[in-house]
A and B are shown apart, each in its own frame.
Chain A
């Protein structure tokens, strides 16, 4: 093209410095330089400890020799650890499903009350999420106390016998889940409320005219429109819940008889309290590959839908 000629002419450049300057001016270079501090922080706080944990998990108890997957083999043979796997999976999956369901239900209720009342309720419902969990769990611990505390007292009023909340394995498991759900549901609620607000009103109107009942509008419009946010929140919450430590530590400390331990609390017990740091590292790494695979597929699905629909 005639008018493009000037731009394609080879430019005469001063030797040396000029090409370096041009390199620095390239957009990708600038972008890299600007994100470098963040990359350094992530590297220092995430990649290095993770790598170090993997290294630790392959050592023997006194950290003197490399034993490969030995720690994992020993763990898998231990009755207690198999119980920990069961409890962690049971705890995380039940708690996440309940949190998502309750959060969705609350978001739906909130979405349908007028704006000014909505703010008040939203604020109140968020309270559990802003109290530091170690503190609020302590509060729950008091309430679960079998003889003198409020929950059993209320149950007794309705002629329901006292429940050994933290003393019996299954009740203890349920108690841990209740507290985790109480603490985590507001997060789902606030995410789902935002997502509900972003579904265009006209889609519901179109569906209503197409003949959908309110249940069918939820099933065929709301849920599909929220698929991405649901997958991401569930994935995120699954990871965080698998790593939960404070609630179990404060509420049951793994008891009774090590039956409510999850990976994090058991890793602490084995690694720090019992002093077997490599085995503790192996415990905490145990879920990593499984979660990574789940994360990969969930995020890929989210990405694909984003491209096709948004």
Chain B
């Protein structure tokens, strides 16, 4: 059990590609941290540097207070679960799990105890004698986790462990991973590009983009208070709408004015925050779930507007309506009982308490 710190960590591959551009991150003992971001943003590279599988080009990585920059993976006391599991095909499930302990010269009885215990936690006891070839994807996934658990390492590292599973199993294993973490409480760093996984598993989410950290925070905070346009657009599904607009001052109050003249009143408690931007072009950010016809929740600061749907997607528990407004796509989440029709103007409500204003010159949320 240990905390992990990254200080100004840089990774430059030969050829000059900077995959990780100086990141700082402090991970507390027992914490479950998820690195999330689009493909190629440097998540795996960061994880592999922590594991010691990739040399670091600059900065320091410390595990449990010791700088591990030059310590080989086997002496870092970490365990890793790979995307394609990387089970040893010539060893039985039992031997796969016992391998790390055997190499570390644990007594036979202790190995047996730990393997049996991990198998019990993961519900794979009947599979111990099989070879990995005779297992399903989900079972292999469990064995890979078992191999990590038996070691009782300082840190668990996961690199997209669920992306080879089908949708249903992914949800099931996600819960499983969370349960295991609640049982063994080992510090965990988990890489995924799936923001639902990130939101559901993490104590804290680290959003990465182009080799830098955009924002670190608990899932709810990232959702409600994104720091940048990237985080605002990346967290949440369907993604937040970004509508070009202006902030205009009218007799002491502020309004968000869309290019077609639609005017939405800014809540009073935000007026001071936005006043310096009065008269400027901004991006009006609002999540589909806050652009709706549902009038039952949160009565204050509702702003009416009318849009004409291009596509209606009934999902059962909700209906998504897609609009095209001055060249931008807008999505709204409707009550399934709303009689929405393509081509017929629809009265919507914007929950202005939940909106975000983004400065398009810096892409920062104001």
Contacts and interface: CB of A to CB of B under 8 A. Distances in A.
Interface of A: 200, 202-203, 205-213, 216, 220-221, 224-225, 227, 305, 308-310
Interface string B141-156: 0000001000100000
9 contacts: A205-B80, A205-B82, A205-B86, A207-B88, A208-B52, A209-B52, A224-B88, A309-B89, A310-B89
Nearest to B77: A211
Q: Which of B52, B99, B151 has the largest count of A CB atoms less than 10 A from its CB?
A: B99
Nearest to B100: A210
Interface of B: 51-53, 72-74, 78-80, 82, 84, 86-91, 99-100, 103-104, 131, 133-134, 147, 151
Q: List the 5 closest A-B pairs by CB distance, nearest first.
A: A210-B100, A202-B86, A206-B86, A224-B90, A211-B74
A216 B72 CA distance: 14
Q: Which of A211, A216, A308 has the largest count of B CB atoms less than 10 A from its CB?
A: A211
Contacts of A225: 89-90
A310 B133 contact: yes
Contacts of A310: 89, 133
B82 A206 contact: yes
A30 to B, nearest CB: 32
Contacts of B51: 205, 209
Contacts of B99: 207, 210, 220
A224 B91 CA distance: 9
A203 B86 contact: yes
For chain A, what secondary structure do more than half of its interface residues adopt (helix, strand, loop), or is it mixed? helix
A224 B99 CA distance: 14
B74 A210 contact: yes
B84 A202 contact: yes
A203 B78 CA distance: 16
Contacts of A224: 88, 90-91
Given A202-B86, A209-B80, A309-B131, A216 B103 contact: yes
Given A202-B84, A203-B86, A208 B74 contact: yes
A221 B86 CA distance: 11
Contacts of B74: 208-213
Contacts of A200: 84, 86
B101 to A, nearest CB: 9
B147 A210 contact: yes
B205 to A, nearest CB: 25
Q: Which of B87, B90, B133 has the largest count of A CB atoms less than 10 A from its CB?
A: B90
A210 B111 CA distance: 14
Given A202-B82, A309-B133, A209 B73 contact: yes
Given A216-B103, A221-B88, A208 B131 contact: no
A221 B95 CA distance: 13
Contacts of A207: 88, 99
Contacts of A202: 82, 84, 86
